[in-house]
Amino acid sequence: MKTRFLTSLSAAALLTAAFLNLQAKDEGADWQYWFADGSLQGGQIISGQATYKVENGVLIGTTVDGSPNTFLAIGPFKDFELEFEVNVDNELNSGVQVRSHIAKEGDPAPEGSKGGKPLPAGRLYGPQCEIAIDGSAGNFYDEARRGTWWSLLTGTEAVRTEEAKAAFKKGEWNHYRIVVKGDHYQSFVNGVKTADFSQPGDPEGHIGFQVHGIKKGTGPYSVRWRSVKFRETK
C-alpha cells in the first residue's frame, strides 16, 4: 500500500513538472530575442548620424560629433512588452521610443507639437522611455512633439516617487520592462514602477533605440543594450 502510494505521488509530481515545463515554454514561445543574431533586427537608422553595431548580442550606439538625436527604428507595433538591460555612459542620456512616428515630406506639424511647425522628413517623434542618471529614468518624454513629460501631461506625477527616481543605478546595467497595451503605458526600472499612465493619441508606431545628440567637440559616448526581448500582445 505504501509503495503504491509513493508511486502515485511520483507520477503526480512528474505530471506536474511536465505541465509546468510546457506552460513555461508556451509563455515564452512568442518572445523574440532581438540582436542575438548579430543583426540590427531590420531596423533603420534615422534622424541623425550616430552609429549602431551589434557585438556578442549587445547593441551599441555611439555618438558622432555634432549629430542630432539618432534612432534605430523598428516596427511599427501596437500592443507589446519589451525588456532589456541598458548601460549608458554618464555623460550621455538616451531612451527608447514606443509607438513613435517617422515624419514624412509634406506632413503637417504633429498634433499638440510645441513649436507648431512641421518636422523634417525622417524625424522620429512620440513617447520615449527615458534612460538617464539624473532621476528621470523610466519616465516618458514626448520627443520632438510636445517636449514635456507624459507624467505631467496625464496627471500621474504620483508614480514618480523617490524610489522611482532612484531606481536607475549609475554606471551599472539596469533592467527595463515596458508594457504598452491599448491606451495604457507602464515602465519598470530594476523592478520599480517608474511610469503608469493612459493616453489614446498613439495607437501604433515604432520602437526606437536613441543615441542622444551631443555638443560639438565632446564625446564620443556610447549606450549599450543587451538581453533585449520583445513580444506582441493582444
| pTM for the model | 0.88
User: How long a stretch of residues is the chain?
Assistant: 234
The pLDDT profile of the chain, 234 residues, written as one tens digit per residue, is 444 444 444 444 444 444 444 443 445 569 999 999 999 999 999 999 999 999 999 999 999 999 999 999 999 999 999 999 999 999 999 999 999 999 999 999 999 999 899 999 999 999 999 999 999 999 999 999 999 999 999 999 999 999 999 999 999 999 999 999 999 999 999 999 999 999 999 999 999 999 999 999 999 999 999 999 999 998
Are 177 and 72 part of one and the same domain? yes
DSSP SS3 for 65: coil
Map grid coordinates 538591460 to a residue: 85
Taking CA atoms, 46 is separated from 6, 104, 170, 221, in Å, by: 64, 12, 28, 18
Q: Which residues contact 9 (CB under 8 A, 6 or more apart)?
A: none
Are 123 and 16 part of one and the same domain? no
Are 224 and 171 part of one and the same domain? yes
CATH number of 115's domain: 2.60.120.560
**Digit-coded pLDDT (tens) for 205-225:** 999 999 999 999 999 999 999
The total domain count for the chain is: 2
DSSP SS3 for 14: helix
Are 133 and 199 part of one and the same domain? yes
**DSSP tally for the chain: helices H, then strands E:** 3, 14
Are 52 and 161 part of one and the same domain? yes
DSSP SS3 for 56: coil
Are 92 and 15 part of one and the same domain? no
Are 41 and 22 part of one and the same domain? no
**Digit-coded pLDDT (tens) for 55-86:** 999 999 999 999 999 999 999 999 999 999 99
User: How far does the chain reach from its first CA to its final CA, in angstroms?
Assistant: 50
Domain of residue 15 covers 1-30
